[in-house]
Amino acid sequence: MAIRLRQDADDSDGAIAEALQRGDVAGLERLYDRYGTLAYSVAMRVLGDHGRSEDVVQECFLKLWNSSSRFDINRGSLRTWLITAVRNRSIDHLRGRAAHERQEREIPFDAEAAGEGSNPWREVVQGMERELIQEALERLPQEQRQAVELAFYHGYTQKEIAESVNVPLSTIKGRMRLALEKLHSYLQGRGLIDDA
């Protein structure tokens, strides 16, 4: 029994995009099979909440499905479009822009129904921490910020980052190291990190 090392032609991003443009639901299923886990992990990194992350991923796949006739595979990959959309939508959720679009959710009346994990103060603190992290990222030089965002928000490896921006791997490693040092210093100065 031979191991299959290459993907079928029907599983390429181009073939999936064509299926989506034809309105073929199987294309959407193949897209989700390929990138659903990655999209969810990007949303979780930004939001830190399972339910909201699932909502964001569902919204982005639906958006891609609804606008698939306009998608041009020559202008970028499905992966890049989807992961960028998930990241941006997740940030929108953090900033509250999507509040008016969210449906009302049932609020439990007793602590048991709310569960031990429900803590509004912790959620507020986590939101503030995310804002500080975003502020710290925005203070980085563009090349360092790009490397960090591709790694942490898009799930790229350092090798994939180097290939996508066409620079040596050692350069990406250096950018990541400098960026993480600056982020650490900035967040420590804001009291988010305690090295004691």
Over the stretch 122-180, which tens digit does the pLDDT of each residue have? 666 666 777 778 888 889 999 998 888 888 777 788 888 898 889 999 999 999 999 88
What pLDDT is stored for residue 141 in this prediction?
92
The percentage of the chain sitting over the pLDDT mark of 90, rounded to a whole number, equals 9
Exposed, middle or buried, 138 (CB in 10 Å: 0-12/13-18/19+)?
exposed
120/125 Cα distance (integer angstroms):
9
- Residue 84 tokens read as 């960028």
Nearest to 162 by CA among 183, 146, 178: 146
Per CATH, domain 8-101 is 1.10.1040.10: no
**98 falls in which pLDDT band (50, 70, 90)?**
very low
More confident: 44 or 115: 44
Other beta carbons less than 10 A from residue 133's beta carbon: 17
Q: How far is CA 142 from CA 51, 73, 138, 139, 178, in A?
A: 32, 26, 8, 9, 12
- Residue 183 tokens read as 């982020």
Residue spans per domain, the chain: 8-101, 121-196
43/57 Cα distance (integer angstroms):
7
What pLDDT is stored for residue 125 in this prediction?
61
Q: Could you tell me the sign of the dihedral formed by the alpha carbons of 138, 185, 83, 77, in that order?
A: positive
What pLDDT is stored for residue 17 in this prediction?
81
Other beta carbons less than 10 A from residue 159's beta carbon: 11
pLDDT digits (tens, 9 = 90+) for 52-84: 888 888 888 888 887 777 766 677 778 888 888
Per CATH, domain 121-196 is 1.10.3720.10: no
